[in-house]
Amino acid sequence: MHLARNYFWVQKILRERFCHHFCAAGKLFGMEQQYRHLLELLRRTTVHGESNSALVIGPRGSGKTALLNHVLKDLREMTQVRENLLEVHLNGLLQTNDKVALKEITRQLQLENVVGDKVFGSFAENLAFLLEALRKGNRTSSCPILFVLDEFDLFVHHKNQSLLYNLFDISQSAQTPVTVIGLTCRQDILELLEKRVKSRFSHRQIYLMNSFDFKQYIKIFKNQLSLPAEFPDEPFAQKWNNNVQHLSEDKAVQDVLQKLFHHSKDLRSLHLLLMLAVSAVTVHHPLLTAADLQEASRQHSTDSKANIVHGLSVLEICLIIAMKHLNEVYDGEPFNFQMVYNEFQKFIQRKAHSMYNFEKPVVMKAFEHLLQLELVQPLERPSARAQREFLLLKLLLDSSQIMEALQLYPNCPTDVKQWAASSLSWL
Amino acid sequence: MNTRQQSKLIYSWYGKPLGSDRKLRTSHYKGILITSESSKTETCIQLGDFILVEGVNADQPYVAQLVDLYEDGAQHKHAVVQWFCRLEEIPQNQRKMLKRDISAQEVFFDQVLGYDTDIAAETIIKSIMVIPLHLGEELPVITLNKEQTFYVKQSWDGKCFKVLSPDTFSKLKEANKTRGVITNSSKASIPSDIFTPVKKKTESVVRSATKPKKIDMEIESKHSSSKSSLSKERHSQRMANNDIKTPTARKKLELNSPTRSKGRLLGYEVLGLLDDDCDATAPLEQSATKRKVKFTNDILGSPPKIPCSDDKSKSTTQSAEHHQSDIMRLSPYTKVNDFSDEDKNLQEKDDVPSLGGYQSSQSPVVTPRSRRRCVQKTSALIAEQISMLDQEDFLSDSDSSYSLSSEEKEDDDDDDVPCTPEKKTKSNRILSTPKSSRKSAVHTPAKTLRKTPLKGTPRTPRNATPEIPRRIQATQEPASVLEEARLRLHVSAIPESLPCREEEFQDIYNFVESKLIDGTGGCMYISGVPGTGKTATVHEVIRCLQQAAENDELPPFQFVEINGMKLTDPHQAYVQILEVLKIRGHSFFSLIFLSLSLQLDLLWTQKQNVMYNLFDWPTQRHSKLIILAIANTMDLPERIMMNRVASRLGLTRMSFQPYTYKQLQQIVSSRLKGVKAFEEDAVQLVSRKVAALSGDARRCLDICRRATEICEFARQKRAPEMVRMAHVTEAIDEMFSSPYVNAIRNASLHEQIFLKAILAEFRRAGVEEATVQQIYHHHVALCRMEGLQSPTVSETMAICSRLGACRLLLVEASSKYLHMRVRLNLSQDDVMYALREE
């Protein structure tokens, strides 16, 4: 009973940690400098009323939002800052044009033309109103405003970039102090800005690069898996943490992590792996083992298309092999059903011992199933006039994938296997 | 009779309609009965009573005086009120001006004209007492009924407190008296009583009207021969009655002056704006002498409606019509009326100055629906103003008086809160964004707002003012040398002078000055890459010119700034111009500073009619419009403008060259004068770097600012120091270094191998494009060479899409899976360089 509660807590704590990567509760890794830079920037905005603009650039999962959330959390705890900063959060995926963005800004700032929770009026009025409001403020008396533009790259595609122009223009003129922070994963973001917008942008770029090495990665792994000190059952937490320590020194675990590290350095994939592993922990399987991690890693890295091949019938496998041969013969040129059928017929007539010669409509049916599974893809949209047999198609599987899948395919007839290995073996 | 049930209160009209208009479907009443179902009590509230009105804050209901009651076509009950404001409603910083303690029971006679005075009758809570007191008087100690008694000593007009004018005072007193009668009397006796206050009021109106009439007569006689006695009378009333009136009502009054035609009116307006016709100026000056008289009358308000409507059947219909203006938009005959309506609206705009800048409740400039027509109309109006074709003496009495009143008012409060658009008689107005009137001015929101209270939601009677909340804690002043330097280096810091642009400054100054002195119009086209000080120079020129104009060295002028980037639609440019032109004074010159930052996209329309009009006006005879157009591209006129537009733009061109390193150095050091924060060499390095790249002064300042931060970070260990070369170099590297190389170096191993595989495939195929399948084969081969486990296709696809999201690669839509084509977004050499270093 006691144990069961412990496991409930373990699952709860760890899962929350793995799922909400951007919440401010977790820790930041390898971005102390960026943290200091951003914190200092925002602190100056709030305390001195200095306008600024900055971009936080980093690949997906590198912790841009987490960094910002951390900074904001710490900022709000400062005594000089509390209640002294207005925040406006915009997301390029939600505010798809300037009109919507403007209304959202007005709403979040709770300006006086907000009725209830709605903003009425035309685009022109809203813009004029907002600009007027911002223009009236000055450095010393108005409350500083922080604009956070998530998915900044999408704002760049708005008409004339007028929202960005205006925000940056305010940050460069003696108006209400504003700080514009853009979050984006595109490295070429500056090239997308128009020249007059670019000129107004302060060119502060904070790069997040996942620039840690494997040793730090192991440390992160340990850190992410350890239970916090405030865990209710202390002996249990002790035991758990010791186990994690052991795991991190285990060769097998290190191999798993090394492989993941080589593939992608972002912490989200690590979280995903750990999530899979932690799910295996129950009362009967009390501690995480290397095998759990290996299994999780296997699941994590399986090939999705090859997985589909495992579930196909022998006829469908034969068709895929035929397509593979066609690809080899014609060097990746598109093919149609008739060609595949002919190739299949050749195999049936000369080589097959165990295969039943299916009718053409049956083969067609199997072929269409493959089409639906998107293992083959038509080059153009099927039109009503064109005959289905002659629709040009491409195979979406690589030959290596097919061979691998065949190795794992249960009860695959030997002659099919041989045929797959070489299209010429029947000679 | 319509009975509307609201939770427990039933509101019903008291008595029969005083007057109704079948066409407009409004009927006016003299009182409203509030019946509470639960307690079975019935309260009667009559015109002139003081009431509490539901507001945003439940325990701070608004205080108001009931001015009118009517029912509109949709059978909604409306009330028109005169607001009183509580101390809490006055902005904190302005309360100081009172310089005395205010008890919770004191309210201020509200003359802030922006507030909507038309409320839903259902928001009335109950009647109360408001007793006027003289300024020195102590509040009488009345213990009973504390909740229900308020005192008023001063009036508040959004800027300053004033002592109640004797007129207002007596009127308020009167209203109280009558109220007393009503409350004491039994219900049956009410009808007979009601008329007393009204009659009295009317009398007082007539009495007070006689005084200013004379003055008006003078003015009127100066101007026009075609005035109906009606308009005279109405006008005099307007002049005389000052307290109870509301902006809405006033607006409406003007709406239905049928005798005047729009164009003429404007023609008159034009005179004041652009023409040096002395006819127009004379009355203005005259008015100035009469200021005193009018002030005693407290001209801020406008005539009460009730006296009008009781007084004259004619004016009743008029006042009834007022309400129509709102309804009209909904009714089927909108079409017919729309145009004239627009006219009227524009006309109002001309009258707006009289509202002294809080024109908030004024109505539509542009409604989306009728935008086209409106745009045409607006542009036509501006054109008319500028070319002054219409010099006829159809001067409307009311208009002249309005501008008079506006002027004196503005003269009076010369230096007040910046939030209200003010205009000094001689000084010029800079308006880069339309003022408050615009946003509240447009009908659409007003209409929606009007609907809300009927649905039972509490509505704010105040119209919105654009304002950002004030900060709670004071800003810290720069503590160290570096902070001081950073403050000065911020682009927003306005330097005392603009170094390195003296020549351009002089050229522009001379150009505008000569045009101003000659009294002709002209265009100048200014081009230059961003950050070369175009806008700053032009602003500086304008500042100097305005100073000169103030010192009477130059004829006064008005200044309009239009920034294409701050407009949502090219046609909005007209609105901005009109916005400024309507605030008029002795100024005869209009200087439009047109920041055509974006005419390519924004002032550029299919027919280029906006640009055409703007550039056409200066070429018209008598016009005094000077346009300074700013853009980035030097050859814009040739490239995108139609010939007819380009030819009107003329040949006065100026191009701002990018700053040289010496100039940049000078700019930085001039800003840092007196602050020893930078090494000389460090400044030079920055200037040279920036000059070599873009010559953008903003960039230069930004780098310097960043360098101070870096210096500060480094400093923390040691004693304070100056920004040295090392810091500057770091800042420059941070800003100019290509992110790609760093991104590749920090990518994961397989991502790097993938990039290598791409290079290998490109070399093999000789084409800078490859499919994922091809790259995958190379990838697997490379992995074998390195002794790594080769990734699955899914993993490779993930790698590819990650690199694609960073835009290291350009990838197709992922639906093609293995056949997705991939290109590099940077040169192969860069990739090789980044990968080789490992």
Residues of B in contact with A159 (CB under 8 A): 601
Residue A299 sits at the chain B interface (C-beta within 8 Å): no
Can you say whether the dihedral through the CA atoms of A286, A287, A290, A295 is positive or negative?
positive
Task: Say what the pLDDT of residue B838 is.
Answer: 55
Choose between A43 and B24: higher pLDDT: A43
Over 70: is that where the pLDDT of B758 sits?
A: yes
Average pLDDT over residues B302-322: 41
> Which tens digit of pLDDT belongs to each residue from B571-590?
887 887 777 776 654 444 55
Best CA proximity match to A398, nearest among A344, A343, A320 = A320
Average pLDDT over residues A341-348: 87
Cβ proximity of B433 and A132 under 8 Å: yes
Give the closest of B462, B494, B742 to A207, CB-based: B742
CA dihedral A102, A108, A110, A111 (to 10 degrees): -20
CA A137 to chain centre: 40
CATH 1.10.8.60 placement within chain B: 661-736
Structure confidence at residue B517 as a pLDDT band (50, 70, 90): confident
Task: Say what the pLDDT of residue B344 is.
Answer: 43
Task: Say what the pLDDT of residue B478 is.
Answer: 74
Placement of tokens 């509390």 in the chain? A82
Over 80: is that where the pLDDT of B177 sits?
A: no
Amino acid code (one letter) for B44: C
Give the chain A residue whose CA is nearest to the CA of B495: A174
Residues of B in contact with A264 (CB under 8 A): 748, 750-751, 798-799, 802
Structure confidence at residue B38 as a pLDDT band (50, 70, 90): low
> Which tens digit of pLDDT belongs to each residue from A146-199?
999 999 999 999 888 889 999 998 888 888 888 999 999 988 888 889 888 888
Cβ proximity of A136 and B419 under 8 Å: yes
Most confident of B43-52, B90-99, B313-322, B332-341: B43-52
Stretch among A249-263, A304-318, B62-76, B746-760 having the lowest mean pLDDT: B62-76
Average pLDDT over residues B563-567: 81
Task: Say what the pLDDT of residue B211 is.
Answer: 43
Over 70: is that where the pLDDT of B385 sits?
A: no
Distance from C-alpha of B554 to C-alpha of B218, rounded to nearest angstrom: 32
> Which tens digit of pLDDT belongs to each residue from A357-404?
788 899 999 999 998 998 888 887 767 677 778 888 888 888 888 888
- For A:179-238, CB contacts with B below 8 A are 185-188, 195-196, 198-200, 202-205, 207, 209-211
Choose between B462 and A152: higher pLDDT: A152
Task: Say what the pLDDT of residue A8 is.
Answer: 85
Task: Say what the pLDDT of residue B669 is.
Answer: 87
Structure confidence at residue B193 as a pLDDT band (50, 70, 90): very low
B322 phi/psi in degrees, rounded to 5: -55, -45
Stretch among A69-73, A341-345, B280-284, B796-800 having the lowest mean pLDDT: B280-284
Would you call B780 and A36 a contact, using CB atoms and an 8 Å cutoff? Answer: no
Over 90: is that where the pLDDT of B45 sits?
A: no
Average pLDDT over residues B524-542: 85
Smallest CA–CA distance, residue A125 to chain B, in Å, is 5
Beta bridge partners of residue A206, listed in sequence order: A56
Where does B739-835 sit in CATH, by number? 1.10.10.10
Distance from C-alpha of B688 to C-alpha of B669, rounded to nearest angstrom: 14
Give the chain B residue whose CA is nearest to the CA of A397: B818
Task: For chain A, list the domains and their CATH numbers.
Answer: 1-16+212-301 (no CATH), 30-207 (3.40.50.300), 306-421 (1.10.10.2450)
Return the CATH superfamily for domain B9-178: Bromo adjacent homology (BAH) domain (2.30.30.490)
Best CA proximity match to B827, nearest among B764, B740, B765, B753 = B740
Cβ proximity of B806 and A186 under 8 Å: yes
Structure confidence at residue B377 as a pLDDT band (50, 70, 90): low
Pairing of strands B77-86, B118-120: antiparallel
Smallest CA–CA distance, residue B392 to chain A, in Å, is 35
- For A:35-54, CB contacts with B below 8 A are 36-37, 40, 47-51
Task: Say what the pLDDT of residue B272 is.
Answer: 39
Smallest CA–CA distance, residue A122 to chain B, in Å, is 8
Task: Say what the pLDDT of residue B410 is.
Answer: 35
Task: Say what the pLDDT of residue B248 is.
Answer: 37
Q: Which CATH number fits domain B520-654: 3.30.420.310, 3.40.50.300, 3.90.1480.20, 2.60.40.10?
A: 3.40.50.300
> Which tens digit of pLDDT belongs to each residue from B672-718?
887 788 888 888 998 998 899 888 888 898 999 888 888 888 776 55
- For A:337-396, CB contacts with B below 8 A are 374, 377, 394, 396
Q: Which CATH number fits domain B661-736: 1.10.8.60, 3.40.50.300, 3.40.50.1820, 3.30.360.10?
A: 1.10.8.60
Average pLDDT over residues B591-611: 57
Cβ proximity of B478 and B671 under 8 Å: no
CATH 2.30.30.490 placement within chain B: 9-178
Would you give the DSSP letter of residue B500?
Answer: T
Residue by residue, DSSP assigns B511-574 as HHHHHHHHT--EEEEEEE-TTSSHHHHHHHHHHHHHHHHHTTSS--EEEEEEEGGG-SSTTHHH
Task: Say what the pLDDT of residue B776 is.
Answer: 93
Over 50: is that where the pLDDT of B373 sits?
A: yes
What rounded mean pLDDT belongs to chain B? Answer: 66
Stretch among A305-309, B474-478, B734-738 having the lowest mean pLDDT: B474-478
Give the closest of B436, B466, B746 to A209, CB-based: B746
Over 50: is that where the pLDDT of B338 sits?
A: no
Choose between B36 and B517: higher pLDDT: B517
Of the residues B443, B468, B486, B826, the best mutation for testing chain A's interface (the one with the most A CB atoms within 10 Å of its CB) is B468
Over 50: is that where the pLDDT of B612 sits?
A: yes
The conformational region for residue B284 under phi > 0 = left, psi -120 to 50 = alpha, else beta, is alpha
Residue A68 sits at the chain B interface (C-beta within 8 Å): no
Annotate A58-84 with b (16+ C-beta within 10 A) or e (fewer): bbebbbbbbbbbbbbeebeeeeebeeb
Task: Say what the pLDDT of residue B761 is.
Answer: 93
Choose between B262 and B648: higher pLDDT: B648
Best CA proximity match to A39, nearest among A52, A22, A29 = A52
Q: Cα B621–B622–B628 angle (5° rounding)?
A: 90
Pairing of strands B653-656, B522-528: parallel
3-state secondary structure of A41: helix
Residues in chain B: 838
Best CA proximity match to B594, nearest among B571, B545, B628 = B628
Question: With helix as H, strand as E and coil as C, how does A163-188 read?
Answer: HHHHHHHHHCCCCCCEEEEEEECCCC
Over 60: is that where the pLDDT of B456 sits?
A: no
Residues 6+ apart with CB under 8 A from A118: A107
Over 70: is that where the pLDDT of B376 sits?
A: no
> Which tens digit of pLDDT belongs to each residue from A103-140?
898 888 888 777 777 777 788 888 888 888 888 887 77
Pairing of strands B653-656, B770-771: unpaired
Distance from C-alpha of A184 to C-alpha of A92, rounded to nearest angstrom: 10
Average pLDDT over residues A42-56: 88
Structure confidence at residue B407 as a pLDDT band (50, 70, 90): very low
Task: Say what the pLDDT of residue A91 is.
Answer: 94
CATH 1.10.10.10 placement within chain B: 739-835
Cβ proximity of B409 and B583 under 8 Å: no
Give the chain B residue whose CA is nearest to the CA of A398: B773
Stretch among A233-242, B273-282, B552-561, B749-758 having the lowest mean pLDDT: B273-282
Residues of A in contact with B795 (CB under 8 A): 263, 301, 303
ipTM, 2 dp: 0.91
Question: What tokens were used for A244?
Answer: 């994690």
Report the run of H or E that residue A195 belongs to, with start and end.
helix A195-200
3-state secondary structure of B597: coil
Stretch among A39-43, B518-522, B740-744 having the lowest mean pLDDT: B518-522
Over 60: is that where the pLDDT of B175 sits?
A: yes
Over 60: is that where the pLDDT of B154 sits?
A: yes
Alpha helix stretches (DSSP H) within B365-460: 371-387, 397-412, 436-441, 443-454
Give the chain A residue whose CA is nearest to the CA of B746: A211
Residues 6+ apart with CB under 8 A from B566: A127, A131, A162, A166, B432, B433
Task: Say what the pLDDT of residue A26 is.
Answer: 64
Distance from C-alpha of B443 to C-alpha of B452, rounded to nearest angstrom: 15
Would you call B445 and A49 a contact, using CB atoms and an 8 Å cutoff? Answer: no
Smallest CA–CA distance, residue A396 to chain B, in Å, is 6
Task: Say what the pLDDT of residue B420 is.
Answer: 37
Of the residues A83, A112, A272, A403, the best mutation for testing chain B's interface (the one with the most B CB atoms within 10 Å of its CB) is A112
Task: Say what the pLDDT of residue B23 is.
Answer: 56
CATH 3.40.50.300 placement within chain B: 520-654
Structure confidence at residue B299 as a pLDDT band (50, 70, 90): very low
Would you call A195 and B530 a contact, using CB atoms and an 8 Å cutoff? Answer: yes
Task: Say what the pLDDT of residue B4 is.
Answer: 44
Task: Say what the pLDDT of residue B334 is.
Answer: 36
Write the CA distances from A228 to A27, A225, A238, B155, B583, integer angstroms: 12, 9, 10, 64, 67
Write the CA distances from B579 to B265, B350, B352, B745, B748, integer angstroms: 16, 9, 10, 56, 59
Stretch among A14-28, A168-182, A370-384, B649-663 having the lowest mean pLDDT: A14-28
Choose between B51 and B158: higher pLDDT: B51
Over 80: is that where the pLDDT of B14 sits?
A: no
**What is the pTM (predicted TM-score) of this model?**
0.64
Residues in chain A: 427
Would you call A122 and B366 a contact, using CB atoms and an 8 Å cutoff? Answer: yes
Average pLDDT over residues A71-94: 86
